[in-house]
Amino acid sequence: MDRYSFSLTTFAPNGKLLQIEHALAAVGNGSTSVGIKAANGVVIATEKKTGSSLIDVSSLEHMVMICDSIGMVYSGMGPDFRVLVSSARKAAQKYRRMYMEDPPVRILVKELASIMQEFTQSGGVRPFGVSLLIAGVDDRGPNLYQVDPSGSYFPWKATAIGKNMVNSKTFLEKRFDSDIDLEDAVYTAILTLKEGFEGQMTEQSIDVGVISTIPTTQADGEQKASKFQRLTPAEIKDYLSNVA
């Protein structure tokens, strides 16, 4: 079967494309990331681990905002993630120029999944070595999607990707409640990461992003849709102090 593992476009006798299996292995070696869809929003969280204590962790970008209403986190290969972030932002801007609003989450997910799928059947390329968790709010309410290197995507209530995926999903199955609110979802996400975390968890070693369905009230009394935002280290530290 090894002779099939060198070709992306040739199926092995068992019906698998082995390069996609290898891409999933790269995801499995990546940092653990979790996502939880709450009744009033979505939270995504990930580990920010480095190979050396000399690396400035503040420069690491595991989680990004694609547009005001959508954020994304990954497990796997960072350089591949950067390429997909660029494509996602271009797609979001193209949609906004045409329709004067942010794209629905499912539209952006389909766009990214199509790009990833194209890299599974083209010569001279390899699959992206990342899985994505995409969180956002649109006219359907809160949304959480997972996109894999094969280009397949699924909506989730709660899920995990990366190194500690199996244990994290088991933990989420026990703790998840469809009526959970966003505040409790943040605590649950941190506890899930803590299950398989090696060493001491600090505000510098994890990243948490949230988006709420509840509009924010401006100083002039005007209400605006909430934006996706990454929690500051100080905010994460507060959550950690209550978890401990």
pLDDT tens digit string along 106-125?
Answer: 999 999 999 999 999 887 88
User: What span, in angstroms and rounded, lies between the C-alpha atoms of 72 and 144?
Assistant: 10
Whether the predicted pLDDT of 152 surpasses 50: yes
Backbone angles phi, psi at 94, to 5 degrees: -60, -40
Confidence of residue 58 (pLDDT cuts 50, 70, 90): confident
> Token pair of 67, please?
């547009």
Task: Check residue 187 and give its pLDDT.
Answer: 96
Confidence of residue 222 (pLDDT cuts 50, 70, 90): low
User: What span, in angstroms and rounded, lies between the C-alpha atoms of 117 and 109?
Assistant: 12
Q: With pLDDT > 70 as the criterion, what percentage of the chain qualifies?
A: 93
Mean pLDDT of the chain: 90
Q: With pLDDT > 90 as the criterion, what percentage of the chain qualifies?
A: 70
Whether the predicted pLDDT of 235 surpasses 80: yes
User: What span, in angstroms and rounded, lies between the C-alpha atoms of 148 and 131?
Assistant: 5
Torsion of CA 171, 204, 202, 193, to 10 degrees: 10
> Token pair of 105, please?
């989450």
Q: Is 86 left (phi over 0), alpha (psi -120 to 50) or beta?
A: alpha
pLDDT tens digit string along 24-51?
Answer: 999 999 999 999 999 999 999 999 877 6
Task: Check residue 100 and give its pLDDT.
Answer: 94
Confidence of residue 17 (pLDDT cuts 50, 70, 90): confident
Whether the predicted pLDDT of 227 surpasses 50: yes
CB 32 within 8 A of CB 196: yes
Whether the predicted pLDDT of 243 surpasses 90: no
User: What span, in angstroms and rounded, lies between the C-alpha atoms of 146 and 183?
Assistant: 22
* Angle, helices 233-243/182-195, rounded to nearest 10 degrees: 80
User: What span, in angstroms and rounded, lies between the C-alpha atoms of 128 and 125?
Assistant: 9
User: What span, in angstroms and rounded, lies between the C-alpha atoms of 188 and 28?
Assistant: 22
Mean pLDDT of 178-201: 92
Task: Check residue 1 and give its pLDDT.
Answer: 47
